[in-house]
Amino acid sequence: MIDNKAINMDTLNRFLFDNHPVRGEITRLEKTYQSILENHNYPIAVQNLLGELLVATSLLTATLKFDGDIAVQLQGDGPLTLAVVNGNNQQELRGVARVNGEIADDATLKQMVGNGYIVITITPKKGERYQGIVGLEKETLIGCIENYFMQSEQLPTRLFVKTGVHNNKPMAAGILLQVLPANENIQASFEHLSALTETITGDELFQLPTDEILYRLYNQEEVRLFETHQIIFKCGCSRQRCEDSLMTLPASEIDEILNEEGGKIDIHCDYCGKHYLFDAIDIAQLRNKRHLNYH
Ligand SMILES: [Zn+2]
């Protein structure tokens, strides 16, 4: 095993079992998760769900075999109208939720989302975009994502995800186990490894070094732990992007907003909480830059 004594949060590691055709990933999120929660006042149940979604997306992006982006989006007709996490294979993640109504602390997935589904969009840098839709057929988000793996890759996959609070900070972490392709008859050993992984607690995932977690779970097994990847919160918003979307609006509409909002257009990013302000002078400069007519 690689020496990995420090408790590195916001990291992802892959691992392999030498004696079983099964691979694993472990991901632990602290700052990334906090960045997603900090500018919002989400109900507790939504905070937990976003934590699960974040862990699941991190684990999912680590299964990509190419450069690209992934979006895991929950939508429905319940009080949680939208929850989405975007990630890429550099483990840059961001996420947001929209709530419209009351959500109890112990609300179930169904109570939050109502009639809904999960859309998983994978956009490779080169090649075709892929979109998979999974119904909310299981009681938990994680159960639904396991279904997605079964449907899309035909590979038995288990996710073990915990969210909680440690040292007054929200944390989210999880482990993925997946049968390697072309191994049909390993149900017994996959169940055995899953049963071992099932015993992990939130406290262990939030507090122990990665190699110690793997040792606690699999000390009867030969496990190879691979290099550590850093996970960061990164929002793709920028002033340039705001300018681009502003300039798609008709000039008259921009003028109207400027009038109504007291001479300033305030574009607010839901993901990171940043504000981008544009006044009449900014707009005039943008129009000049793009050779657009003022009238
Ligand atoms: Zn942003």
Per residue in 189-211, pLDDT (tens digit) is: 999 999 999 999 999 999 999 99
Please check whether residue 254 is in contact with residue 242, taking contact to mean a CB–CB distance below 8 angstroms: no
Report residue 53 CA to chain centroid gap: 5
Question: Is the CB of residue 159 less than 8 Å from the CB of residue 174?
Answer: yes
- Could you give the 3-state DSSP secondary structure of residue 126? coil
Q: How far is the CA of 249 from the centre of ligand 1 (A)?
A: 20
In the reported structure, the alpha carbon of residue 237 is separated from the centroid of ligand 1 by a whole-number distance in angstroms of: 4
**What is the whole-number distance in angstroms between the Cα of residue 24 and the centre of ligand 1?**
32
List of E strands, 156-218: 157-166, 169-179
Distance 184 CA to ligand 1 centre (A): 44
The one-letter code for the residue type at 32 is T
pLDDT category of residue 167 using cuts at 50, 70 and 90: confident
Residues 124-152 as b or e (16 or more Cβ within 10 Å = b) = beeeeeeeeebebeeeebbebbbbbbeee
**What is the 35 CA–ligand 1 centroid distance (Å)?**
11
Percent with pLDDT over 70 in the chain: 96
Residues 229, 11 contacting (CB under 8 angstroms): yes
Q: For residue 275, how far is its CA from the centre of ligand 1 (angstroms)?
A: 8
User: What is the Å distance from ligand 1's center to 132 Cα?
Assistant: 26
Q: What is the pLDDT of residues 216-259, one digit of tens each?
A: 999 999 999 999 999 999 998 999 999 999 999 999 999 999 99
Q: Per-residue pLDDT for 5 more than 90?
A: no
Q: Are 20 and 193 in contact (CB under 8 A)?
A: yes
Contact 278, 265 (CB under 8 A): yes
d(CA 100, CA 98): 7
Q: Which residues line ion ligand 1, judged by CB < 5 Å?
A: 235, 237, 269, 271-272, 274
Query: What's the gap in Å between 210 CA and the centre of ligand 1?
Result: 31
Distances (CA, A) of 50 to 54, 95, 237, 265: 6, 8, 20, 30
For residues 69 and 179, what is the distance between their CA atoms, to the nearest angstrom?
23
Given this model, what pLDDT does residue 39 score?
Answer: 85
- pLDDT band for 82, please (50, 70, 90 cuts): very high
Quote the ligand 1 centre to 238 CA distance (angstroms): 7
Contacts 24+ apart (CB under 8 A), 264-267: 267/242
- In the three-class reduction of DSSP (H, G, I as helix; E, B as strand; rest coil), residue 252 is classed as helix
First to last CA, the chain: 68
Domain limits of the chain? 11-233, 239-289
How far is the centre of ligand 1, averaged over its atoms, from the C-alpha of 98 (Å)?
A: 15
Instruction: Check for a shared fold between 11-233 and 239-289.
Output: no
What distance in angstroms lies between residue 3's CA and the mean position of ligand 1's atoms?
A: 36
The average confidence (pLDDT) of the chain is 92
Q: What is the DSSP letter of 5?
A: -
- Give mean pLDDT, residues 20-28: 96
- Tell me how far the alpha carbon of residue 234 lies from the centroid of ligand 1, in angstroms: 8
Residue 6 confidence (pLDDT)? 54
Class (C level, CATH) for 239-289: alpha beta
Q: For the domain with range 11-233, which CATH number is right: 3.40.50.300, 3.40.50.2300, 2.60.40.10, 3.55.30.10?
A: 3.55.30.10
Please tell me the distance between residue 273's alpha carbon and the centre of ligand 1 in angstroms. 6
Ligand 1 centre distance from Cα of residue 46 (Å): 20
pLDDT value at position 154? 87
Pairing of strands 232-233, 92-99: parallel
Separation of 241 CA from ligand 1 center, angstroms? 10
Kindly state the average pLDDT of the residues 263-272.
Answer: 93
- The Å distance, Cα 163 to ligand 1 centre, comes to 24
How far is CA 160 from each of CA 26, 146, 168, 204, 257, rounded to the nearest angstrom?
A: 9, 10, 22, 13, 48
pLDDT 10s digits, 122-149: 999 998 999 999 999 999 999 999 999 8
